[in-house]
Amino acid sequence: MKINAGKYGRTNKGRILVFSWLQDGNGKTMKNCVVKYVNGGVIKYWLDEDEKIVKHSKNIIDLIEVGDIVKTGEDTIFANVMETQENLDYFKELYKNDIDAIRAIITKEQIEEMEYRV
């Protein structure tokens, strides 16, 4: 799988990032370290031992999955909960030509990690 510089990636832990692969001194791709692009700069980002990039695309909308929450809108923020595949497909069709309207994605894995169950 070849991933070009500056693509969006989603890890098996639900992290979404813009990244490039790094190479070691021998020119081999480092499997656990990427360059992460943040606010116009770059940082070296080490994936957790059990973390890997499972999806990648030049279009962030392709990384949204059922169970994610997507915030859209300029002045007023509207949260779109991707409850079903049909809901997700409708959202992707609606925003495929308006990617800039997407402000934030909270992945289902992030929700599970942060939730407090009673």
* E-assigned strand segments in the chain: 7-11, 16-23, 29-38, 41-46, 53-57, 69-72, 78-81, 102-106
Q: Are residues 51 and 24 in the same domain?
A: yes
Does position 20 have pLDDT exceeding 80, yes or no? no
Domain-embedded: residue 32: yes
Q: Is there a domain that residue 36 lies in? A: yes
Q: What is the pLDDT of residues 52-87, one digit of tens each?
A: 889 989 889 999 999 999 988 766 666 788 899 999
pLDDT at 38 over 80: no
Q: Select from 42, 57, 72 the last residue of a domain.
A: 57
Q: At which of 15, 40, 57 does a domain end?
A: 57
Residue 9 pLDDT > 70 = yes
> Residue 111 above 60 pLDDT?
yes
Within a domain: 2: no
Last residue of a domain, one of 57, 77, 93: 57
Residue 1 lies in a domain: no
Domain count, the chain: 2
Q: For residue 89, what pLDDT band results from cuts at 50, 70 and 90?
A: very high
Residue 46 confidence class, pLDDT cut points 50, 70, 90? confident
Residue 69 forms part of a structural domain: yes
pLDDT at residue 3 in the model = 53
Provide the whole-model pTM: 0.78
Burial class for 19, CB neighbours closer than 10 Å (0-12, 13-18, 19+): buried
In percent, how much of the chain has pLDDT > 70? 87
Rounded to an integer, the average pLDDT of 85-113 is: 90
User: The domain containing residue 98 runs over which residues?
Assistant: 60-114
Is position 33 within any domain? yes
